[in-house]
Amino acid sequence: MQLDGLAFEGVEAEIFKLTGGLLLNIDMDFLMVRITQRSAYKFLALRSGMSKQDAFDTEQLLKCMGELKSGQSVNIPIYDFKNHRRCSESFRKVNASDVIILEGILVFHDQRVREMMDMKIFVDTDADVRLARRIRRDTVERGRDVCSVLEQYGRFVKPAFDDFVLPSKKYADVIIPRGGDNHVAVDLIVQHIRTKLGQHDLCKIYPNVYVIQTTFQIRGMHTLIRDRDITTPDFVFYSDRLIRLVVEHGLGHLPFTEKQVVTPTGSVYTGVDFCKKLCGVSIIRSGESMENALRACCKGIKIGKILIHRDGDNGKQLIYEKLPNDISERHVLLLDPVLATGNSANQAIELLVKKGVPENHIIFLNLISAPEGIHCVCRRFPSLKIVTSEIDAALNEEFRVIPGLGEFGDRYFGTDI
């Protein structure tokens, strides 16, 4: 988050209260290198030749944030504001938390830092309020007098804000006017945080991975199709129900345009119109089990096929395909009920990309996914979307999804006897 630290106090307090304290606040001030106060503010006001990298230890910030995001504890330097230097032997040990807030007026300037953020917030507070808070903080907490605070603010802080901080507002995902007094904006942010905390960890790592909302009905159907003693007709019936839900959810991620229609009552209804250029591609043979649900949702949709076959014992994979001639102009729903290692999926996606399909035009639909498969696909194709109904625990030594549901194709088509 980029903001005036004083402006952020109210926002942080509200987020802390509404999330039950599940957050860690990191102040960018600990990154200040050993320079004089005057030099630091000259830098901010473009009155010296120092670069941003000279004034802030960005490399250490990246290191600390990377370790915290991976769940590790870190030692953060303590900055002495009275003498304007780091305390060489003083550190604060902090542990990773569910929510990490990086606070600082210049945190948006380095692209590498911005890319580590899941949400970028700019708290915009009136200049008079910022000045009043600065006077109170610097006189009470930092032992300064009002005259020196006002001189510093007028000569360096205000020009620096106008030249450096305010323009970086363009990078923010959310701009909060009036700071912590804006309860509506704070509530929306807290609700977003709570939603993210309720997601599977992989959905936090890969924002293009979507798990349909779990209900007792969905959980019950998963219980049935995972039961090894279920009959084939029942397996097909409940699998089809789940597949239909996944397909419907996947269609919700297609681009749309606003459209108005006239209802039978003569009233105008404003809705949406989805893109017309759409096709499905099933990975033979398990993927063919998802075709009926797609046809039921999209009348007359074209469906292509990809066969990935292991050629003997040499480990090579041959790909056979039959795809629409204009597939490069379409959004593609890639169908495969189980994402295990991700190797076959990557082969299929690579073929689609070679055929001219933009990566962000591919939506990969499956019933269950293994974490290893999600990592494999998302790291190679980060713009692709994955829609699944459940993320399982892992792969076993035989590369089978655990707890999984066995060989889906054999069970669905009745060839597992």
Mean pLDDT across the chain: 81
Q: What are the backbone dihedrals phi and psi of residue 51, each rounded to the nearest 5 degrees, phi first?
A: -95, 170
Would you say residue 180 has pLDDT above 70? no
> Cα–Cα distance between 257 and 271 in angstroms, integer?
9
Task: Give the pLDDT score at 318.
Answer: 67
pLDDT in tens, 272-295: 888 788 999 999 889 999 999 999
At 211-254, the pLDDT tens digits run 998 888 999 999 999 999 999 999 999 999 999 999 999 999 99
Q: What is the CA radius of gyration of the chain?
A: 27
- What the chain holds in terms of domains, given with CATH numbers, is 2-196 (3.40.50.300), 202-413 (3.40.50.2020)
Q: What is the pLDDT of residue 46?
A: 41
Within 10 A of 233 (CB to CB), how many other CB atoms are there? 9
pTM here?
A: 0.58
Query: Could you read off the pLDDT of 107-164 as tens digits, one per residue?
Result: 888 888 888 888 888 888 888 888 888 888 888 877 788 888 888 888 888 887 888 7
Q: What is the pLDDT of residue 1?
A: 45
Q: How far is C-alpha 160 from the chain's CA centre?
A: 32
pLDDT in tens, 358-413: 999 999 999 999 999 999 999 999 999 999 999 998 898 888 999 999 999 999 99
